[in-house]
Structures are given as structure tokens and as C-alpha cells.
Structure 1
């Protein structure tokens, strides 16, 4: 074949038992000025050997060959995991066979009496194949990027939790201890003060100091909730109660049982999900009441935090800076769970679902007197 240096060389493996038809293919491609190199084989053994060499860009195969068909050759390539454009060139393939070949993954087919279109069919098959390979590479790169991003997110979450624990420990050991000591000293001075003005100042200082102690304890609980040692139910109930006291919003906590056998990492994910959802309620919802439903029925831990506020628009849910929700979704995925957020004009619901893998205990539902009726 004549070579044209301004065009890419296309190496074609031609599976054909007729030397005349092979010569016609060479002539047709020569007339179209395609820069190509043809290698002729006429047996499956030769076809497999040449295909395994990896030296070819495209297979051009006759359909009817002695003892086998072009589709048999296609199956050989497919079974060996060789991704190469495959074009059937036949004198009479039949519509049914042609449709079947295309469904099974053959790039294209062409009748031998349309040989003038051969170069176009080959170029199109090569372009489609390259596009598919480029997409596969892009998909692989995207999957790798997502994997590395998930690993980074997991590392960041672990680092954040460790940093929170360190800060909570410092607050408890240093700030908390210092405030408690100052309170004792002020109380000692206040008991020995007889002047009214001085006593009033001491009482005010003690009141502010008590407020600082309460704030430090609340910050410690938010940073590293030791109440999780008492179980997820107790932690969520404490979270709802403290949120109600802090914001004045009515909070109603429902649970399927008093104790739930939930792994520690899942407990932390559920706790942080409830914490973030309540934070969003306080910031954005303009709600008057919140419901928290916690269940471990049917081997799935489900946490739902819903409010009766103004809701969120679809754009707000999709906005690029919704890092809180994105972080919750990443946390859920790390424990093989998922997070759903739904919203309307009547409020927003954040739902976390995590399969417990048989670790959850059967739920014998026990109604608490405080669970009856409306929000409390």
C-alpha cells in the first residue's frame, strides 16, 4: 500500500480466504488514499496469533469462512479481552446476522458490493473506538479521583474528630479546671465579704463564671460527645434536649427501642448527622418544632430529622457551598449508608440510613410517656 506521511498509518488485520477479495480491498483502500498496512490471515489459528501480537488497529473480517464465521473470530477477540475495532465485510451477510453482529459489539458491517465506502466505514470505526477508549480512560480517571477524594475526606474527618477530642481534652483539663478553681476562690471570698457593693459584684462574677463553665461543658460535649458511651439513643435525646433549651424550639424525639446495638463508628455518624441537621434548622429553617425519629428496625439504622420550617429550594440543596450536607453524605458512605434530603414549603427532612449487617438487635418498641401526643 502507498504510504502518505501526512496521515496516520492504519494497520489492518484482514481475515479473508479469497485472495481476489483481498486484492479488491487493497485496491479500494488505495483508491481512497488511506495510509494503511494489511495483514492477510485465513485461519483461526493465524488470526489468534496475529491478534495476540497487538500490532493491529482494526480487524476486517469476512463473514463466511471455511469451517467458521467472522463472528467466531469476534468471539475469540472478545474472550481474550482484546478491545479492537471489528468490521464485518461480506458478500451476503443477511439483515438478521448483521443486526445480531452489531448487538454483540461488532463496530460495523459492509457488503462487498459497496467497497467504495470501505475507507469511510474503517475511519468511522476507528473514531468510535477511540472515543470509547477515551471515555473509558476518563471514567477510570474520574473513579480514581473520586476514590482519592473519598480517602482525603475520610482522612480529614478522622483528623477533625481527633482535633476535636484534643481540644475538648484541653478545655476540660486546662480551662475547665482553671474556671472551677476560680469559682472556689470567688465563693470563698464572697462568703467572707460583708460590704453590700462588694458582695453584689462577687455574685455577678460568680454568675458569669457559672455561665462560662456551662459554655465550656457544652463546647466539650459538641466537640467530643462522651454521652455516646451511654448509647446512641441517650446521645440523640441529649442532643434534642440541649437544642431545645438553647433555641427555644420544641423538639420531639421518637425511638424504636431504649437500647440499640450500633457500632461506634455508625453511632458517631448518626450523632454528627443529627447535630448538623439541627444546626441547619437553627440557621435557616425558621421553624417552630423539630421531630427526630431514630429506629433500628429490620436491621437498618434510620435517623430522620425533620422540621416544620420554610423548606429549601432545589437550587439551595444543589448549591456548591453545601459543604455540611456533602460532608454528611461522605460520612454516610464510609459506613455503607446513604443520606437523603427532601424539602418542601412545609419543612425539610434529613434522613440517614445505615444497614447494620445483622448487628442490630431486634426492636421491642417501648413507648415512653413523653413520646405521646404532640411536640414536647
Structure 2
């Protein structure tokens, strides 16, 4: 503790007891300025000034007590050490005072410990204040990181939409024009060999058109304009067709009215989960369950694959799982992930709809860029 003069607020109705406490403080090597108050109004008024410590008798005039003084200090929100001093405080009362936030308690007949008790209490209060400031800075940093993550996801989704439009307008237009040119050549070329080459070119062109549509769908899921349920049905069917893994969609509603941004977050979460299952899980069955109850939208993706070990979850490069948590947070949701090796993995996205913003149709959400892209 520093050697500066300490400001001590003393709640005490007996002048002699006040002088005795002051003498013990000075005898203990503390340089102090004190103010003695007796009543609750004077105490409340004095608390507006800066103090280093509050000393308080237990029994005070007009039925005012040290415990009430402690409660007033706590209600003020100030982190200020409070030491209770009494001529005959019972053990139960002392325990209650400590439980309510008192720094220490002393008997008036044993004030030799007052100076070190004050020094320790002030040091502990300084540590609490430092911790509170550190916690506040950490909370601000975490909030700023969440805002940055949301901004990055917004930028990614906007860029995806821009690329999808370019593919549709430029690449798609060129491929369509090329199809017409091939059709014109096929009608006017009687040569069999030329017809064979044209047929091969048409087949390659068909694959290119399908690939461009698939890329556009991944970049900006236009299927969401049909609603989240329809989009998940389309996703599940495509997953089964591409992977050969049996995938089932179960839903509590055929249609859903969801706040803006929520459908895209749910869609991307399911997309990420199915992609990981296809790459790593070696599963035979997958269940996608979408439900809405008690104001919470829940999306569960469960597989019967090899599962994840603790080492898998703790990998330094497991950005996919971290990304899922960040993306869920952009609409006030969270991710629960449970897995057992050899049993399978369950991922649950939960979104309280009240936290996700005002109500809006899913059609509105399809065009929202304020969601996130895949990791």
C-alpha cells in the first residue's frame, strides 16, 4: 500500500471511541484524515466524497446499525472496504456482516489489530477494483471481437452475393449463348464426325452450366426464397444424392416465419455440418431436425459416424467449430456440440427469436447480407 494519507470515514456516535480508533491507526504507522458521522443522513451525504475505508460501529443512534450502513455502501456500487467495529458483536452477527461484504470486524476492546486490518482491507479493495477494471476491459474486447466477427461475416456474405451475380450475369450469359451457337451448328452440319464432336461439346457445356448453378447456389442460396424448410429439404436431398449417406429431415413446421438473418444462419450451419460429416464422419445415417418451441428455433444435425475425440475438439486449427459459434452469435444464438468416438456427433443450433431482431418473413431473410459465410 502507498504511503499517502488515507481518508477514513468513521461511523461512530462516541467521540472517545473515535479518538481511540484514530490513535490505534496512527500508532500502527498510518497517516490518516478522518471524518466522524453519527446518523444515516450524514453518512449518506459523506459517502459522496472519496474515501479509502469506512469504519463503522454496530449500534448507532435512532436504530441505525452497521449492517444497514454496509447495505447502503453496497447499494452505492462503490468498491470501498468496510470494517465493522463493536463493543459486543456476536459471532452470528459478525458472520452475517462478512457474508454481506464487510472486509473485517473487530471488537473495541481489541483495536491493536485495527491498523493492519485497515491496510489489508484497502489492499484487497484495490485488487478488486483492478480485477473489475480488467474484467470490464476484457468484456469490451470480447464485444469488439464479436462486432468484428459479425462485420467480417457480413462482408463475406456480401462478397458471395456479388460473385454469384457476376457468375449469373457474365458466365451464365456466355454459357447460354454458347449453347445456342452449338445448337445452330448441329442443325447445319451433316457430317457425322462433326456431330459427334458437337454432342461431346454440348455435354461438356451442360456440365459447366450445372457447375455454375451449383457454385451460385453455394455462394448465395436462392433456395432460401422458398423458406428455410424448403431450403433444408433441397439440401438434404442433394447431400444424399452426392454422398450416398442416408439423410432425413424432420421438422415441426411446414413453414416458418423467422426474423431477418436467422434462415441464412441456420442454412449455413446445416451446410457446414453436412460438409464435415461427408468429409470426416464416415457415417451411414444423418438426421436433420428443425423445431420451433417456446420462442427458440432449434436445428439439430446428428450422425452415427466415428465421432470426435477431445483431442479433435481441442485442435488449435479447429476453426470450423469456432466459426459455428461466432456465426450463431451474430443472431443471438449458440452452438452445443457433443460427440463420442464410435457413437456419433450431435450439433445443435439454438436461436431465441426475440434476440435475433424483429419478426420478418423468411423471404426477407434470403436477401440479408448480415449473416455469415462458411468457414
Does the CA-based 8 Å contact 2:81-2:121 persist in structure 1?
yes
Whole-angstrom CA distance in 1 between matches of 2:45 and 2:294: 56
Deviates more, 1:186-195 or 1:102-111: 186-195
Per-residue deviation at 1:118? 1.1
Hey, what does 1:63 align to over in structure 2?
58
Does the CA-based 8 Å contact 1:244-1:250 persist in structure 2?
yes
Whole-angstrom CA distance in 2 between matches of 1:41 and 1:359: 56
Per-residue deviation at 1:197? 4.3
Of residues 346, 349, 352, the one that matches 1:352 is 349
CA shift in 2, pair 1:163/1:252, >3 Å: same
Whole-angstrom CA distance in 1 between matches of 2:277 and 2:67: 62
Does the CA-based 8 Å contact 1:299-1:359 persist in structure 2?
no
Does the CA-based 8 Å contact 2:260-2:360 persist in structure 1?
no
| TM-score between both structures, scaled by the size of structure 1 | 0.86
CA shift in 2, pair 1:89/1:298, >3 Å: closer
- SS of corresponding position for 1:60: strand
Does the CA-based 8 Å contact 1:260-1:360 persist in structure 2?
no
- Equivalence map 1:124-203=2 (5 Å): 124-203=120-199
Hey, what does 1:96 align to over in structure 2?
92
Per-residue deviation at 1:230? 1.1
Whole-angstrom CA distance in 1 between matches of 2:25 and 2:292: 69
Higher relative contact order (CA 8 A, sep 6+): 2
Aligned length: 356
Deviates more, 1:216-225 or 1:37-46: 37-46
Does the CA-based 8 Å contact 2:298-2:350 persist in structure 1?
yes
Q: CA RMSD in A?
A: 2.6
- SS of corresponding position for 1:342: strand
Whole-angstrom CA distance in 1 between matches of 2:202 and 2:3: 88
Does the CA-based 8 Å contact 1:299-1:360 persist in structure 2?
no
Hey, what does 1:285 align to over in structure 2?
281
Are 1:27 and 2:41 counterparts? no
| TM-score between both structures, scaled by the size of structure 2 | 0.86
Of residues 224, 237, 240, the one that matches 1:241 is 237
Please list every run of at least 4 consecutive aligned residues from structure 1 whose deviation after the TM superposition is greater than 6 angstroms. Answer: 358-361
Deviates more, 1:138-147 or 1:231-240: 138-147
Deviates more, 1:246-255 or 1:106-115: 246-255
Unaligned runs of 5+ residues in structure 2 are 362-375
Does the CA-based 8 Å contact 1:296-1:360 persist in structure 2?
no
Are 1:259 and 2:255 counterparts? yes
